[in-house]
Amino acid sequence: MPLVPFARQSKDAPGYSGERLKNLSLRPSDGYSQGVLIGRSGLLSQHNLGSAVRAMETLAGVLYAVAGGTVYKISGGTATSVGTVLDDEQTQVAASSTELAIVAGGKYYICDGTATTEYSTGAVTSPKGVAFMDGYFLVIGTSGGRDDALTVSGLDDGTTFGALDFAFAENAPDALVAIIEDHNEIWLFGSKTTEIWYNSGAAAFPFQRNAGALIERGATAGTAAKEDNAVFWIGEDLRAYRSSGTSPQVISTREVEEVLSEAALGRAFIADDRGHKFFVVRLTGRPALAYDLTTGLWCEFSTGLGEAEFDGACSVRNGGTFYVGTVSGHVATMDPDTYQDLGGYLEAEAISVPLVEADFITISRLHLNIAAGDVNSQGQVMLQVSKDGRTWGLERWRPMGALGEFFRRVVWHGLGASRRFQFRIRITDAVQRDIYGVKYN
């Protein structure tokens, strides 16, 4: 009998599913089973900036981070302050070839690599977001009492804004909450609708609305991101969306939507880990939701033990290295050979697909095949059994294998009889935790 995947995704519905993957994700396979669970890489600190990292960007091949109101230039292994801005969780950055634009706390700043200076944005008096396209910085915010204004900087000059260089996203009377550039188009996210603009080259104002690309769906502030030739966001209806051309495609499950409706949403960003890319939505007081762009399945990311938040808050790729900025103040990489987050716990947990039969079934043994053998100390894996999907039995710990045991079969005996079985495994040791599959006897 071949192995089967232990679990596939996070689906918070104990009555009929209750599957869960925390710091694990499914990778399709034609080997031991149809799918293996791969452990999330640990966060490995490269720089400790001491305050929450709000945003990161690259300028002329150099990494910059905004943390605790300080703008840092990170080069040659050293983080150097190059100015200050207001400390704002919703800080946004955009870069040209020579300037870094920062919007934070309703202010607009330009960093030239050596200093950071505040500038006026002309008709927009309270900037909310910034993007860069075709030599222009585009800023959204408030103008003349309206909160759907768009203004553009001078060409190749982010420090100047003409008093008349502005327009309104006036197709619908809703406030702009986010701006993002994708495929040489500007996406203006409102609280109820989304407009797509392009560079028309007009002399009066270079950007115009694509009249045929209005999206009757808005966004939640701070949740827009782009990757894999698409734009991702959380709508004002608390569903997750992925763009398909200029149309929104729902990617959230009903179970994910229930979580989004109950939780306080934080920022969203992209994570690139072990060949998979994730749209990560931070949640206050609970693990982040992570949508795997490769499989279209959801899992969860957390830092520490239990139902803790994920420490990651923003990300950027600089050259061949992918960086994550953390709430605890670190600029980190995601290292597949690191099984901790910043030296602390990285807890992996999986709840299996339910086994349900009309008649009683007896499970005498559970065989879990797990990667091991490349760690310096032996770890353990815990199993719990549930017969109703809600209450769990005693913890049963087993060794995962010592150094040199590269393919370890962990076995539990005498799991009982029931019409419904579900299993939970947990690994807290700093050891490899890829799970090839499970077999029930």
Residue 438 and residue 7 in contact, taking contact as beta carbons nearer than 8 Å: no
| Predicted local confidence at residue 346, as pLDDT | 98
Of the two residues 172 and 49, the one the predictor is more confident about is: 49
> Of 11, 4, 5, which Cα lies nearest the Cα of 299?
11
Angle subtended at Cα 43 by Cα 37 and Cα 303, rounded to the nearest 5 degrees:
75
pLDDT attached to residue 204: 87
Task: Tell me which of 396 and 405 has the higher pLDDT.
Answer: 396
pTM across the whole model:
0.95
Strand bridging mode 330-335 / 42-48: antiparallel
Three-state secondary structure call for residue 354: coil
3-state secondary structure at position 89: coil
Summarised one tens digit per residue, pLDDT across range 169-199 is: 987 889 999 999 999 999 999 999 999 999 9
- Give per-residue pLDDT as tens, 76-132: 889 999 999 999 999 999 999 999 999 999 999 999 999 999 999 999 999 999 999
What would the pLDDT profile of 269-319 be if each residue is shown by its tens digit? 999 999 999 999 999 999 999 999 999 999 999 999 999 999 999 999 999
Q: What is the pLDDT of residues 227-245, one digit of tens each?
A: 999 999 999 999 999 999 8
**For 251, what's the count of Cα atoms within 13 Å in the CB-facing half-sphere?**
28
Domains and CATH numbers, the chain: 20-40+349-440 (2.60.120.260), 42-345 (2.130.10.10)
Q: What's the pLDDT score for residue 75? A: 94
**Of the segments 10-14, 112-116, 429-433, which one has the largest average pLDDT value?**
112-116
For residue 434, what pLDDT band results from cuts at 50, 70 and 90?
very high
Residue 265 predicted with pLDDT over 60? yes
What distance, in Å, lies between the first and last C-alpha atoms of the chain? 10
